Structure formats: structure tokens, C-alpha cells
Chains A and B, each alone.
Chain A
């Protein structure tokens, strides 16, 4: 893509030649959420790390995370949304096993979003990278529950 300009690309470069976190994005393309784990510190990170922020080791393992979590906080943005992003934007911090994952909700009814709501990983396809490879983001969607009246 000879007309690609890094300064205008809002998304991270996800390929092996661009980031040491390429495994995260590879797993995401498979619909999975993974993160890094430092065995020396017995500690999972979020977001995934290149070096452990405690011991600076780069000998980190990739571990799987559950796909589901609960909304810790959220906000719905209607105005001032950057170009190219959907309106309304529903941002959420999702709690998954004590990790707090910042994300955007897709396919959600804004009036039904509340703290404590259970959400599930639902990756979104965004613009491809300069080599034409697909890129995804770790967006989430509301889990549709059966009503018990």
C-alpha cells in the first residue's frame, strides 16, 4: 500500500515485523484473548507486555484468558467522536479475573448498558495493514441473556 501514512493510521501495526506482541493479535484473529505472564513474579499483565514491569524480564509466557467479563465502568460518547469511528461510541472497562480491560462495545443497545453487565469478546475487523493483512481489535459485545420474569 504505497499510499499508507503511519501518521493517519489509528490502529496498531500487528504483524511479526512490526511488534513483539504479534502473538496477541494472532490469537485475536482466532477469536481468543491471551496475555503475558511473568513466571518469576507470578503475575499476569494487562495489556500484554514486552518486558515485565516489575523485574524487567522478557522471558514471558502467553496465557489464555476467559472470553467473558463484567463491566466495571462505561461511558457513551455521542459528540466529538474521531473521524472513522462509529457513533455512539460505547467505551467500557471490563473486569476479567481481576484484569481491567479497556475496550469498546459493539452491537450494543446504549440504553441497556450498565455496570456489572456481562460481556463477551467479539473481535472487530478494522482497516488492513500496509501489507493488506487483516487487523482486528479486542472489542466486546453484550451477552444476550434469557429473561426470567
Chain B
């Protein structure tokens, strides 16, 4: 089995973009190329595209060959689209990793892209229900915020987690994204602004939720042998784990404040890499909502179960703390273009581990983690390192 590494990356600005899905793909491809002009489109033998709702938001299916055409790539080893709701990007990276490790491909571009904003915002919100159980949840009007609100309600009831602790996650991530030129939100947010923001689905307020965002991200994944020719600082995939315990809320264990699927995915990743949570220098975790980051601290092993609220309020998930969580600003700060998010997390890990994260640089970053979820019972964890 070959070792696999990232050798290049590129990102678009995330936000409410005056750009089509195709424009975003072109922008991410150009950004990657600008950072690495010696790797031409014809040098890329495989392509994986992570995208969730192009059929609805662009009336376009069949995405991988479209992206290949836009970027001048003619795949000769691998062409695929991965869809796993919000984890599509990470699932795409894992698929490329597996194919390269098996010797099926050598240099694969993984592109994550999502165009969510539409001329009619009501349609954009309607589309948000496509990811939950149509027949038993979406038919009632369910979308992601109320689903995760249930986790927040139970976490507050069981562990005494407070609204202020949820708000701390938002303040931290908005502070981080204010230093990220690619982020949706760049102005920062005060505790008061967060706590006073409009209620979305109790107890989650506007600033505790990730926004509706357009964007694209790209990484180049290569075998270790090829990586050494393509960059002097490859970033290696050290381990990975994925688990799905259920799709609909009804099928999950009734304690929504605990996410055993995340614990399982993390254990697999840590186990294959031979490391533990104490070795993680920074982590991009899936803060679709503030409660998701708090629960992620616990299930990833950064703090004991139930202590996540205190962990963030005490600054332990910030620069100068135990582990820097969401240095790029996470989903709350950068936005959440569904298929692009997992790849954007990987881009941040790539830059951090090469010392290229500018103002956001985590000192002595040696090992990074990304966590991408697609529901309370569905999680992907990736571990990256310099060697």
C-alpha cells in the first residue's frame, strides 16, 4: 500500500458569490494552479468531485466530467463524484486516498464545490431539506438547524452547557475567520452580538449557525513517490476513520448529546496513525452549529464527556490553549458550501502544516485533524502530518 500526501491546494472566496457553480470550479482550479504552476492539468491523472445539491441549485448532474472539462483534465485513472451531504468533500479525499494507496491512480485532484445561493432565498432554504429524511422528517419542514438544536437541548439538560458557552464557539471562530481572506465572515463577533442574535431553532441563535455559502476548494493528492517530485513539503495522510450509525433522528440512540459514531471514526483514525488526541496541534472540526463543535471536543477526546462547554469558555480550544480548533474559522466563520467544506478543511491543514497559514499560523504545527460530519450519526475523521 502506498503512502499518500497532499502536494497542492487552492480555494475560492467563500460567501454569497456573484458566480455560477462553474465559475467557482474555475476559480478553485486557477488558485491551485497559481500556487503550483509546474503541475499542469495534463499531469493530473484522476479527478474526484464532492458536491451535494448541483441537481437542485444548478439543474446539473454528472459533475466530475464537467469539472474535468472546465479545468482541462482528461482523467485516465479515476473519475468520480462523491456525495455524502456535508461530508462529501472528506469522502472524496478518502476515495482518492484509497485509489492511490491501491495503485489505481497517482496524481488526483479532489474538488469540492457548492453553489447554494439562488435568486429566491426561499428555494435555497427548501433545498436544505433535501439532506434529511424526506418521508419522515423533511415532510414536516425539517432542515439542519432544528435537527442539531435537539442535540443542544439535551447537552444543556444533561451537562449544564450554557448559551454563553455556545456563544464562545461563535466568538472564537469569527475571530479566526476575520484573519482568513477566503472566509464568508470577516468582521468578528462579540459575545453580546451572538447571544442577542435572532433565534433560529431553540436554543440555536443566528450566530451559532453556519451560513448559506457558495464556494469551491481543491487539493492535489499523490502517491509518496510522485509527491517527492511535486513539492518539497508534502503533507501526509496519517490515518482516517468513518462511521455511519443512522440517517434519520429516529434511528439514533436517544441521547443526541453523545455521538458514538464520531468516537468510532476518531478511534479508527487515531489507531491507524498510532497517535492520540493529545498529539493534535490543530483541528478543523465540523461546527455546522456551535453545539457540534462542543460535542466534537468530547468525542475526539480533547476533553471529557460533558466538559466541552467549559473547554471552549476557558480558551482551551484557542491559540495558546490545548489544541487550536478551527484556526481557519470553521464552518461558522468561513461558511459552509456543502461539498467544498471537507476539502477546505484539508486546504487549511495543508497550509498549516507547511507553515503557510499567515496570521492564522499555529506554532509548531506537526499533526492536524479534520472532522467532517453529515448528520449526528455520520462522521469522517482525517489525520495529517509533515512526515
- Asked whether any CB of chain A lies closer than 8 Å to the CB of B201, the reply is yes
B139-A137 in contact (CB<8A): yes
Contact pattern, A 15-34, Cβ under 8 Å of B = 1, otherwise 0: 00000000000000000000
- Closest Cβ of chain A to B124, distance in Å, is 10
Q: Which of A4-12, A56-64, A141-149 contacts B (4 or more CB under 8 A)?
A: A4-12
* Neighbouring A residues of B138 by C-beta, 8 Å: 10
Closest CB-CB distance, B70 to chain A, in whole Å?
25
Report the nearest A residue to B205, measured CB to CB: A79
Which B residues lie within 8 Å of A79 (CB)? 198-200, 206
- Chain B residue with minimal CB distance to A81? B141
With A and B bound together, what is the CA distance between A91 and B139 in angstroms? 12
Q: For chain A, which range describes its interface: under 10, 10 to 19, 20 to 34, or 35 or more residues?
A: 20 to 34
- Within 8 Å by CB of B142, from A73, A91, A99, lies A91
Interface string of B97-133 (1 = CB under 8 A from A): 0000000000000000000000000110110110001
Distance to closest chain A CB from B226 (angstroms): 42
* Interface members, chain B 59-74 (any A CB < 8 Å): none
Question: Residue among A75, A81, A100 with the most chain B CB within 10 A?
Answer: A75
Asked whether B146 is an interface residue with its Cβ less than 8 Å from the other chain, the reply is yes
- Cβ < 8 Å to A, chain B residues 242-266: 248-250, 254, 256
CA–CA, A123 and B250, complex, Å: 19
Q: Which residue of B lies closest to A101 (CB)?
A: B250
A136 and B56 alpha carbons, distance in the complex (Å): 26
Q: Are B254 and A12 in contact (CB under 8 A)?
A: no
CA distance A20 to B137 in the complex (A): 18
Contacts A12-B139, A82-B122, A85-B141 given; indicate if A46 touches B201 (C-beta within 8 A): no
Task: Assess A77 versus B139: contact at CB under 8 Å? Given A10-B129, A47-B248.
Answer: no
CA distance A74 to B153 in the complex (A): 8
Chain B window 253-292, contacts with chain A (Cβ cutoff 8 Å), 1 for yes, 0 for no: 0101000000000000000000000000000000000000
Given A10-B138, A12-B134, A93-B150, do A73 and B126 touch, yes or no (CB 8 Å)?
A: no
B256 touches A73 (CB 8 A): yes
Q: Let me know if B250 and A81 touch, CB within 8 A.
A: no
Binary B-proximity of A108-145 (CB < 8 A = 1, otherwise 0): 00000001000000000010000000000101000000
Using A73-B154, A75-B201 as known contacts, say yes or no to A47 and B128 having CB atoms under 8 A apart: no
CB-CB under 8 A from A78, the residues of chain B are 198-201
**A76 interface contact, C-beta 8 A:** yes
Q: A46-B250, A81-B125 are in contact. Are A103 and B140 (CB under 8 A)?
A: yes
Chain B's closest residue to A113 (CB) is B202
Nearest residue (CB) in B for A73 is B150
Q: Does B368 contact A (CB under 8 A)?
A: no
* Inter-subunit contact A93/B146 (CB<8 Å): no
Question: Given A7-B56, A10-B138, A93-B250: A82 and B201 within 8 A (CB)?
Answer: no
CB within 8 Å for A83 and B56 given contacts A73-B256, A100-B250: no
A139 to B139, CA, bound (A): 10
* Binary contact track A66-101/B, C-beta < 8 Å → 1, others 0: 000000111111111111011001010101000111
Determine if A77 and B134 form an interchain contact, defined as CB atoms under 8 angstroms apart.
Answer: no
Question: Is B58 in the interface zone, CB < 8 Å from A?
Answer: no
Given A12-B135, A82-B126, is A75 in contact with B248 using a C-beta cutoff of 8 Å? no
B149, CB-defined interface residue at 8 Å: yes
Extra 13 A-B pairs, beta carbons < 8 Å, given A86-B141, A102-B137 = A10-B141, A47-B135, A47-B248, A47-B250, A73-B153, A73-B154, A78-B198, A82-B122, A89-B141, A91-B140, A93-B254, A102-B136, A126-B139
- B: residues with CB less than 8 A from A are 56, 122-123, 125-126, 128-129, 133-143, 145-146, 149-150, 153-154, 157, 198-203, 206, 248-250, 254, 256
